[in-house]
Structure 1
Amino acid sequence: MIAIIAAIVVVIVVVAVVVVVVEEKRPTTTTSKDVEFYTWWATEGKVALDKLAPAFHNATGYTLQPYVSPGAGGSNAIYAILSLIEAGKPPATFQVHFGPAMLSYVEAAPNGINSFVNMGPVAEQMNLTNNSLPEVIEAGEFNGHLLSLPVDLHQGAQLYFNPQLLKKYNVPIPTNLSTLISDTKTLESDGVTPWIIPGGDGGWDQLNVWEDIFLALAGNKMYDEFMYGTLNMSNPTVANTINETSDIYSLFQNDSYSGEQSMTWTQAISEVTSGQVAFQVNGNWYTNYAYDFLNVTNYPAVAPYTSWTNISLMSEDFPNTSQYFVMVTDSVAVPTGSTQTAGLIFAKYFASWAGQMVFTKWKAVTFYDNVTTDYFNTPAQWYSYQLAKSTPGNDWVYQLSDGGLFAGPLASAESAMASFSESFTPSSSSSTFQGAVSVLDASLKQVLSSEEQQWMSANSLGLGYMGSPGHPFGGYLPPWANTSANATVTAHATSDYHTNSRNADNVQYVYMSPFGLSFLENMVTLAVPKA
């Protein structure tokens, strides 16, 4: 009990310090024409945002005032924003992933869903629900409630490689998991470092690799069950899949770059483009970073590019996942209050066709479904957009590491993967590795339990699944929402798909803090330096 009380006290202090520090650093809005925007875009996202800001000012007369809190996948910004919201001092607008990540803010807000502008009527007024890829809108809805506006469409689960390196050592482009494993072993035997899995992002990169292997082995149903926390790890099939995922991950980790522990994902890219390392996993924001900062153009691993000899960066869907579109969508949420008018003007411009043409040229692709001319900076972006348009709705999943988990479970999953990766080496005994696997399994069970609890809390607020009645995201419904009213319809079956109104009901919501005991304990773990 003393330990628990001490942990809670530490976390209260940590959260208080976060609020104080952020308050001291947050930009000062000097006029009613300034719009404060909290974001984690510090690299390729900042380049794209810097292109958007003057266009926004010219179109509206408002001036964007970004506050950047760097960190892969928003790992720092998420908790700073959560702390401000729980303290009743939300930013005017902020970046948030679609997927359950948004629900963490709802559960932290003193007035729940009423603390945020209802974007359902806004999207209808903008005609987004008719002109967008329906899966994108579904990923941001919770039982029909849209709480933020989308501003891009990213594709996760991408394998990056230098095709000239593979040709030099006569290994094929790995279009399936077996070939990727074989390539890894062949390159290692030839003295080439097959993998780079950076350790400087707090476990985010490791989770990227692990979740992609898991999707390749498990398919989208188990992946969706992980997202909702309902995956039964006691089921023999599930347990075997989890164990195989960790085994394959360990092969890639053991054959990875020796200097990666302190590197971030952006620092690792040049090791791939220069031919020092064969493979790196990431989302397609990697493409924009390489273009913006390394002057390297990424190409999809399709003809005619696969026969070109002057390409140093190529990407493909992670082997055995090409059936699925693994999405990540950034969005803008607007808290209610004195700054909501300006915040909504920014969100609407960002999500508009005009805003999309500026921003997504430099980052990700657009979610509008009517693009017929390639306006993107790289061939890989255009290819990703075409894949999004052609992938059936039931084959979409939301990437776990970038919005697919609530804030607490995400932090726990990243921490677990970082610890797992540090628990064994190529020379470790079988018993040491199996011990590390057992610890990881126990951690994943806790992640799943916490994730399910968070979803149950959301369900009690009427926000219990992604999508709207009749249109669940990816065609999947969690058990608590699997009713005839929410049953799946055939994706894209009619031309007026997603034209039904999604205005949020006027319901009073009970405030529920996201800082449960497991989340607090995890925050203490992250806050206290390792011995």
Structure 2
Amino acid sequence: MITPGAGGTNAKYAILTLIEVGKPPAIFQSLVGANMLSYVESAPNGIHTFLNLTPILMKEGILNHVVMPAFEAAAYNGTILNVPVSVHSGFVLYMNLNLLRKYDLPIPYNLTTLEYDTMELVHHGITPWMVPGADGGYDQEQLWFAIFLSLGGPQLMNELIYGTIPLSNSTFQRIFNETNRIFLNFTSYNYPGWQSLTWTQGIALVSQGSAAFEVDVDSATNYLFDFQNITVYPAIEPYIEWNNVTVVAIPFSGTQNYFPLVMDAIAIPVSPQENQAIQFMNYWISYAGQQVWTRWKAVTYYINGTDWYNTPQQWYMYQHLLATKPNNFVIDPLSLFADVDGELYSGLLALQQQGASALPLWNSTFTSAMHQEESEWLAAAKLGLGYLGFPGHPFAGYYPPWVNS
């Protein structure tokens, strides 16, 4: 049986505990990026606890038919320890189209328009934002880093995943401070009772028109379809003219050229059950397996996929995946080292709860998190796992400084 353990779930920490005591599951779900290295760090036998899945993928020829940045994000100097089974996008802006229509507001394709729409909705007595608080900081992280990407572009985000952001640089400081300003502005107009709501409750309330905007991983698309009987459409023509469309989505304002990867993946520890686990994995990542799985969840990474999806928004995101240039891919902070991500969660939740008075603490938390991320990558580098990607093909074209030192 596969054990879930991807981002934002208690199962992730349960799996870490099992690995620490030398009893990993036969196969388990995780996220790509530094997140998987958290499991390697916790294992008594380190990297030798897990199968290197690169030779299997090479033998199957899968790497010849996929969007390569998706697999670069899963490789550490060519070693793949967990294989992606779907591609989600982080930083998706969900909108109640009826509210925008009612007050004749434009679709906020850029950040300036999103700020304008926010204040116009406030002027009309409408709650503009849904940023739930019962997910421990997940929702705050999605919103803050969506703003950060919109203002700073992919280079800063790709430095973030290694903790190598130039913290004292004046350009970074300007972007960081402006991100804080906009985040505090948006969250000051948040839905009443947000502290006790989860993202699933929040996105349901947005669909009902109780708030206008929510930023989430695009798993919200499938949640609305499966549990609320609501189809999400991309916020483009002709859908925004259709009267039956209530919920639309776009990559967060100003990030339409980027793709923030959030990818569920499966890892296989060395065990007596590894051959059965490999057989299961091979079906899941096959073209046929992808048709079954991603119809209901996320999108596939195969470059020759067709529109087998349940929602128009999934097909739109698949086309967006194919159209994104390699250097414009980024990795959602959900895929940072688990302890670092947890630190950012708590820091941003405190910032929303306390407002501007918490900025000094948030600045300190962010700095501490970046130092910790870099430290853990330096430890991975000593194991030969010091960057995302393959030799000669790093993720998003970026090598961290220690690779060339």
Identify the TM-score tier after normalising by the shorter chain. over 0.9
After TM superposition, list the pairs within 5 Å mapping 1:90-489 onto structure 2. 90-371=24-305, 373-401=306-334, 403=335, 405-424=336-355, 433=356, 435-482=357-404
Tell me the amino acid that sits aligned with residue 372 of structure 2.
Answer: S
In structure 2, what is the Cα distance between the partners aligned to 1:288 and 1:40? 19
In structure 2, what is the Cα distance between the partners aligned to 1:324 and 1:290? 24
Tell me the amino acid that sits aligned with residue 313 of structure 2.
Answer: A
In structure 2, what is the Cα distance between the partners aligned to 1:223 and 1:266? 26
Q: Among 37, 41, 44, which residue is 2:2 paired with?
A: 37
Cα displacement (A) at 1:211: 0.6
Contact 1:97 1:328 in 2 (8 A): yes
Cα displacement (A) at 1:40: 4.7
Contact 1:162 1:311 in 2 (8 A): no
Cα displacement (A) at 1:232: 2.0
Cα displacement (A) at 1:106: 1.0
Cα displacement (A) at 1:74: 3.2
Contact 2:135 2:198 in 1 (8 A): yes
Identical-residue share of aligned pairs (%): 44
In structure 1, what is the Cα distance between the partners aligned to 2:322 and 2:169? 35
SS in 1 for 2:57: helix
Contact 1:333 1:347 in 2 (8 A): no
SS in 2 for 1:217: helix
In structure 2, what is the Cα distance between the partners aligned to 1:226 and 1:398? 9
Stretches of 4+ aligned residues off by more than 3 angstroms: none
In structure 2, what is the Cα distance between the partners aligned to 1:482 and 1:381? 39
In structure 2, what is the Cα distance between the partners aligned to 1:277 and 1:170? 16
Cα displacement (A) at 1:75: 3.5
Give the aligned partner of residue 51 of structure 1.
Answer: none
Tell me the amino acid that sits aligned with residue 399 of structure 1.
Answer: D
SS in 2 for 1:193: coil
TM-score w.r.t. the length of structure 2 is: 0.98
Cα displacement (A) at 1:319: 0.6
Cα displacement (A) at 1:118: 1.1
Contact 2:88 2:217 in 1 (8 A): yes
In structure 2, what is the Cα distance between the partners aligned to 1:415 and 1:157? 19
In structure 2, what is the Cα distance between the partners aligned to 1:260 and 1:482? 46
In structure 1, what is the Cα distance between the partners aligned to 2:181 and 2:258? 23
Cα displacement (A) at 1:339: 2.0
Q: Highest CA radius of gyration, 1 or 2? A: 1
Contact 2:95 2:248 in 1 (8 A): yes
In structure 2, what is the Cα distance between the partners aligned to 1:137 and 1:352? 14
